[in-house]
Amino acid sequence: MIRLGINIDHIATLRQVRGGTTSYPDLLHFCQEVAKAGADQITIHLREDRRHIQLSDLKMLSKKSPLPLNLEMAMTQEMFQFAKKYKPAWVCYVPEKRKELTTEGGLDVVKYKKQLKKQIEKLQTLGIEVSLFIAPQLDQVLAAAKVGADAIELHTGAWVHLQGVRKNKEWSRLKKSALLAESLGLRVHAGHGLDFVHTQKIKSLPFLKEVNIGHFLVCEALNKGLRHSVLQMKKTLKS
C-alpha cells in the first residue's frame, strides 16, 4: 500500500489570514479527522516567513499528533535546531524562497551536498528519517544517495501542469528517477499539485511508497464539508 501523508498547511493559512487571532481552525481537530479517514502521516511545512504553520504548531503536534509527523523545512541552521528539538518521524528538506506562492522547484542537492550530509547524519542519529524534495533529475537522485538520505520526494508539480508531449516527457523523467532511486536504496515518495486524476496515474510510478497531498484536499473539503457547516449555522440562528 502507498502511504498517504496529508499536508495541513493551508488549514493553518485560514487561521493566519486573521493574524493568528482566532482559535479556529483547530489543527489538532483536523489531524484527528485525517487519522479517522485512514491517512498515514501529517505533513507540515514550517516556513521561515511563518505564513501558515507556526512554531507553536510544531511544538503542539510533536506531542499530540495522532499520526507520525513529517516536517518539511528549509536547509537552515534554525530549522535544523527545531528538528533536533521536536524530533518528527521524518524531515523533508525543501527549497524555499520568501516571495514564492508555493514550493517552485526541487532542492539542489548537488550544490549543497556537504551541508546536507552533516545535517542528515545528525538527524538520523536521533531516529529521524530524512527525505529530500527534488526535481526528477538523475544527478539529484545520485546526490541524494551520496548524502545518505533515506528517501527522495519527487516534485510532481511540473508534470501536473504540463500537457501533451511535454507531460509525457516529464512522466518519463519521473519514472527514470524512481528506478534509479530504488537501485540506490532510496525510498520513492512523490508530491506537489496532486489531485484525484493525477494521483490515479502516479500510483503506477515504479516503487512508489508514499505521496503527500495538501492544497487540493483542503479545497476539496470546502466542496464536501461546507453544506454541513451551513446547515449547522442555520440551526444555530433558529435556536
**In the chain, how many domains are there?**
1
**Among residues 136, 126, 131, 162, which one has the least CA distance to residue 148?**
131
CATH of the domain at 185: 3.20.20.70
Task: List CB contacts of 52: < 8 A, sequence separation 6 or more.
Answer: 9, 10, 12, 13, 16, 45
* Statement: residue 134 has pLDDT above 80: yes
- Give me the domain span that covers residue 195: 3-238
Q: Which residue numbers are catalytic? A: 45, 72, 192
Q: Is the pTM of this model over 0.85?
A: yes
Name residue 15's amino acid.
Answer: R
Helix H segments across the chain? 9-16, 27-36, 55-64, 77-86, 113-125, 138-146, 157-161, 164-183, 196-202, 215-238
The pLDDT tens digits of the residues spanning 50-76 come to: 999 999 999 999 999 999 999 999 999
* Cβ partners under 8 Å of residue 37, min gap 6: none
Query: pLDDT of 10-29, one tens digit each?
Result: 999 999 999 888 989 999 99
